[in-house]
Amino acid sequence: MKKQYEITEHEFNRIGELIYQRSGIVLSQHKRDMVYHRLSRILRSHGFTRFSQYLAILEKDKHGPEWQVFINAMTTNLTSFFREAHHFPILAKHANQRRHGYKVWSSASSTGEEPCSIAIQLDEVLGTSINGPRIWATDIDTDVLATAERGIYRAVDIESLSQERKRRYFMRGTGEQAGMVKIKPEIRAAIHYSPLNLLADYWDVPGPFDAIFCRNVMIYFDKKTQKSILERFSGMLKPGGLLFAGHSENVTQINDAFSLLGQTVYRLSKDKP
């Protein structure tokens, strides 16, 4: 089947330059089909016939609303409840050792499954939060944040959870909402959602944190960007704080302020600021 549009080498390279400038994401050639399919929908919505027409809109207004549409289309969101389950017992033990004022930053929260999982784990260890949010959840993609804010998921999304967790933390939909579940208000209240670009000069989150989750994000950055973000993370963690990374990310090779605590869990040295 013939494609509706043609994406030239120059256009693909320019798309790569623009997304790198705004988000730090590095596009390799094997992502060409992904870029085509995600952006071709936007081209159709504008009635464009060439990718260069869309690029002209982005380049004409460096602060225009189309940039957020572009970023939302180009970011990848793959998540689930209690994904990388080995992380959560480590989080529980760490929280139990510190308890008072324990705060976590979910820096790529996607549609909310990760911060909800963190909130459930902390509720089980520390009890229900009565002093406002204990998890700050951010993402560069405003579309996924809107989904996270609603806190509504398919019932199949929580099939792997225990019956106790399903009963205690979710409400089942009825009627038109049959087959859906909603996170309970006390868990939702423990999470503060807001948009944030990790490449921004200022991170509007109230550090320092006891733990930061940044899982399967670094793989989209080059070494220079990885090094910069890890340096900033080290300054956003309390001494002995934890950084939870993705399964294919090795933090200690980039920043020696961290030491490996467990499988893809890193601890900030106590003598670091």
Which residues form the catalytic set? Answer: 38, 139
Q: How far is CA 40 from CA 20, 32, 100, in A?
A: 19, 12, 49
Q: Which residue has the tokens 């199949």?
A: 156
Using alpha carbons, select from 87, 60, 82, 67 the residue that is nearest to residue 22. 67
Using alpha carbons, select from 249, 265, 140 the residue that is nearest to residue 196. 140
Which distant-in-sequence residues (6+ apart) come within 8 Å of 37 by Cβ? Answer: none
Which distant-in-sequence residues (6+ apart) come within 8 Å of 122 by Cβ? Answer: 91, 92, 95, 102, 104, 129, 134, 135, 190
- CA triplet 123, 141, 86: central angle to 5 degrees? 40
**206 is written with which tokens?**
């109230």
Q: Are strands 180-183 and 152-154 parallel, antiparallel or unpaired?
A: antiparallel
